[in-house]
Amino acid sequence: MNIDSSIVEATPASSGLAALLAKAFADDPVMAYIIPQQQGRLQRIEGIMQLAIKTYRHSGLIETVAGRSAAVWQRPSPGEPSLLAVILNSLEAMVRLRGAVDRAQQVQRITAAARIAQPHWYLAIIGTDPACRGQWQGGASLASQLLLSVLKRCDQQQLPAYLESSNYHNLGFYRRFGFEVTQTLQLPDGPAMWAMVREPEAGQSSVAFYQ
């Protein structure tokens, strides 16, 4: 199936993406680990997402489909620091995280050590508005559309894709696109994360759509 034409690259005029991603990650186990206080968590997550979008609007790739789902990718570049590392180096992040810096740095250290060495596309963030989960467009779920958009580039460029899943229940979704778990990353006194790699397909992408 073809990628739905409603997928667009985010521009400075794009609005609402940080709020969308904050809602998508409101109950995420790793976000809850970094920001354990329930009160004000959503606003603080939105601040982190704003920094992520600001960081990668030019140097990465941010795509959205129908304003209901969005993905933040880091383009292939040897030695490029992770999104979290870039964010943590900013004074703005120190203000937004307010007391959560130590745990955020622990997550950064553990995930940085797991990154694969060769050039690859790195899926830093992907999320769908909870109210829109399960919706299909163009024959596929919104998140599937976003994944396939860049996985086709991976196949064309013969480059792997890499991500860390912060939710065990999402592993099956990523496996359907060819991702495999390479490491289980255990956060100190916290949840686990799963490093996953997808090797490129030879020739035309054989990725199928799944919910």
pLDDT tens per residue, range 107-141: 888 998 999 999 999 999 999 998 887 776 655 78
Q: Per mean pLDDT, which of 96-105, 123-132, 135-144, 154-163 is the most reliable? A: 154-163
Single-letter amino acid, residue 1: M
Q: Which domain holds residue 94?
A: 7-198
In a domain, 150, yes or no: yes
| 109: exposed, middle or buried (Cβ count in 10 Å: 0-12, 13-18, 19+) | exposed
The Cβ-side half-sphere exposure at 190, using a 13 Å CA radius, reads: 23
Q: What is the pLDDT of residue 177?
A: 96
Is 3 a residue whose pLDDT tops 50? no
Structure tokens at 113: 């050590």
Q: Which distant-in-sequence residues (6+ apart) come within 8 Å of 32 by Cβ? A: 41, 191
In a domain, 123, yes or no: yes
Lowest mean pLDDT among 39-43, 104-108, 122-126, 161-165: 104-108
In a domain, 208, yes or no: no
Alpha-carbon distance of 197 to 116, in angstroms, equals 8
174-202 residue pLDDT tens:
999 999 999 999 999 999 999 999 999 98
Instruction: Give the residue, 58 or 73, on which the prediction is more confident.
Output: 73
Mean of the pLDDT values across residues 1-14? Answer: 65
In a domain, 43, yes or no: yes
Q: What is the pLDDT of residue 119?
A: 93
Structure tokens at 128: 């769908």
Is 98 a residue whose pLDDT tops 70? no
Model confidence, pTM: 0.85
Is 89 a residue whose pLDDT tops 70? no
In a domain, 2, yes or no: no
Q: How many domains is the chain partitioned into structurally?
A: 1
DSSP secondary structure letter of residue 203: S
In a domain, 170, yes or no: yes
Alpha-carbon distance of 209 to 29, in angstroms, equals 26
CATH number of the domain where residue 133 is located: 3.40.630.30
Question: C-alpha angle with apex 81: 40 to 56, nearest 5 degrees?
Answer: 60
Sign of CA dihedral 90, 93, 98, 102: negative
Q: What is the pLDDT of residue 93?
A: 59
In a domain, 207, yes or no: no
Instruction: Give the residue, 12 or 91, on which the prediction is more confident.
Output: 12
